[in-house]
């Protein structure tokens, strides 16, 4: 908002819903631009079809796509490198001595970011010679996090001790921590838990959640600066392509002393 004010722009929030009229036909963006007489757009809906953005290009409407790389259409974008982020967090856990991993949350078929997270996890495990057990990889819709208790409990019962549950975001991580307490599991001695996003909940639960930090303020600021640059030079032919690497934030939900414990036997929860 501060950057928008400094550039003399007015921001309007446009909620996106898959069930809205026009969304499935690829008209959500251009319809809002034309009806509300908008001069540009910052788009944060990563599952949006790129045909939407092609409509904006056809009408010469400046836009910046955030949270997603563009492959089939030209335009400015700022994306988070979730693959390298997840690779870093899993590699760190492997170096500590963890060998049994479960994964909870996200939808690979819907969100590019979830596919990147999966690739990062798989790459780190493959390099360490650790097989990813498909039964321990559970997809779950973000909007139904509060309904994941039973599934998370089943997943926890399958993970040898000490093990790890990698979560698609911090809210899933908080749910797993809650269920661990209900099952009498110790965190991190029995189960380590990680998330992504570094939302407020990650530092406001006990133990604090190990996660991946993204500077959202900086992303918004960069997006506004790109829009400002485009408005000042409408004939520019180059596009901004910015990839942001998440930062690993270590908190008490993982056992940083695991190697020193010389674990010789793992008990399976039943």
User: Please, which contacts does 36-42 make with residues 24 or more away whose CB atoms are closer than 8 Å?
Assistant: 36/12, 38/12, 39/231, 40/227, 40/230, 40/231, 42/66, 42/220, 42/223, 42/224, 42/227
Assess whether pLDDT exceeds 60 at residue 260: no
Query: What integer pLDDT is reported at residue 153 of this predicted model?
Result: 95
pLDDT tens digits, residue range 133-157? 889 999 999 999 999 999 999 999 9
- Comparing 230 with 198, the larger pLDDT belongs to 198
Q: Which residue has the higher pLDDT, 24 or 46?
A: 46
Give the tens place of pLDDT for each residue, 168-212. Answer: 999 999 999 999 999 999 999 999 999 999 999 999 999 999 999
How many other C-beta atoms can be found within 10 angstroms of the C-beta atom of residue 207?
14
With a CB cutoff of 8 Å and minimum separation 6, the contacts of 258 are: 96, 97, 98, 162
Decide if pLDDT at 2 tops 90: no
Tens digit of each residue's pLDDT (9 = 90 or more) over 113-136: 999 999 999 999 999 999 988 899
Is residue 260 packed enough to be buried (19+ CB in 10 Å), middle (13-18) or exposed (0-12)? exposed
What residue segments make up the domains of the chain, in order of their start? 2-80+215-245, 82-213+249-261
CA dihedral 58, 62, 67, 69 (to 10 degrees): 50
Domain 2-80+215-245 identical in fold to domain 82-213+249-261: yes
Does 7 score more than 90 pLDDT? no
**CATH T-level assignment (fold) for domain 2-80+215-245:** Rossmann fold (3.40.50)
208-224 per-position pLDDT tens digit = 999 999 999 899 899 98
The dihedral through the CA atoms of 136, 141, 145, 151 has a sign that is negative
pLDDT of residue 256: 86
Share of the chain above pLDDT 70, in %: 88
How much is the pLDDT for 25?
63
Give dist(CA 78, CA 32) in Å, integer: 22
Whether the per-residue pLDDT at 255 is higher than 70: the answer is yes
Query: Is residue 240 over pLDDT 80?
Result: yes
Fold (topology level) of 82-213+249-261: Rossmann fold (3.40.50)
pLDDT given for residue 5 in this prediction = 63
Helix H or strand E segment including 232: helix 216-232
pTM for the whole structure: 0.86
CB atoms within 10 A of CB 120: 22
């Amino acid at each position: 908002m501060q950057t928008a004010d400094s550039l003399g722009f007015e921001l309007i929030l446009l909620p996106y819903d898959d069930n809205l009229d026009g969304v499935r036909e690829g008209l959500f963006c251009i319809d809002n631009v034309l009806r509300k007489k908008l001069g540009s757009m910052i788009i944060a809906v990563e599952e949006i079809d790129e045909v939407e953005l092609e409509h904006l290009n056809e009408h010469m409407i400046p836009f910046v796509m955030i949270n997603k790389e563009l492959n089939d259409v030209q335009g400015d974008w700022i994306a988070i490198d979730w693959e390298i982020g997840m690779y870093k967090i899993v590699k760190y856990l492997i170096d500590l001595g963890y060998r049994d991993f479960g994964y909870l949350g996200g939808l690979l078929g819907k969100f590019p970011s979830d596919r990147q997270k999966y690739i990062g996890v798989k790459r780190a495990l493959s390099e360490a010679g650790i097989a990813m057990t498909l039964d321990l990889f559970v997809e779950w819709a973000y909007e139904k996090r509060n309904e994941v208790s039973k599934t998370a409990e089943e997943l926890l019962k399958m993970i040898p001790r000490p093990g790890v549950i990698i979560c698609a975001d911090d809210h899933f991580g908080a749910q797993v921590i809650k269920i661990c307490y209900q099952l009498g599991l110790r965190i991190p001695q029995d189960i380590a838990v990680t998330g992504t996003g570094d939302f407020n909940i990650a530092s406001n639960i006990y133990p604090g959640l190990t996660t991946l930090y993204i500077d959202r303020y900086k992303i918004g600021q960069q997006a506004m600066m790109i829009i400002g640059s485009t408005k000042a030079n409408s004939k520019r032919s180059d596009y901004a392509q910015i990839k942001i690497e998440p930062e690993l934030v270590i908190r008490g939900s993982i056992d940083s002393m695991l190697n020193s414990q010389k674990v010789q036997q793992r008990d399976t929860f039943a």
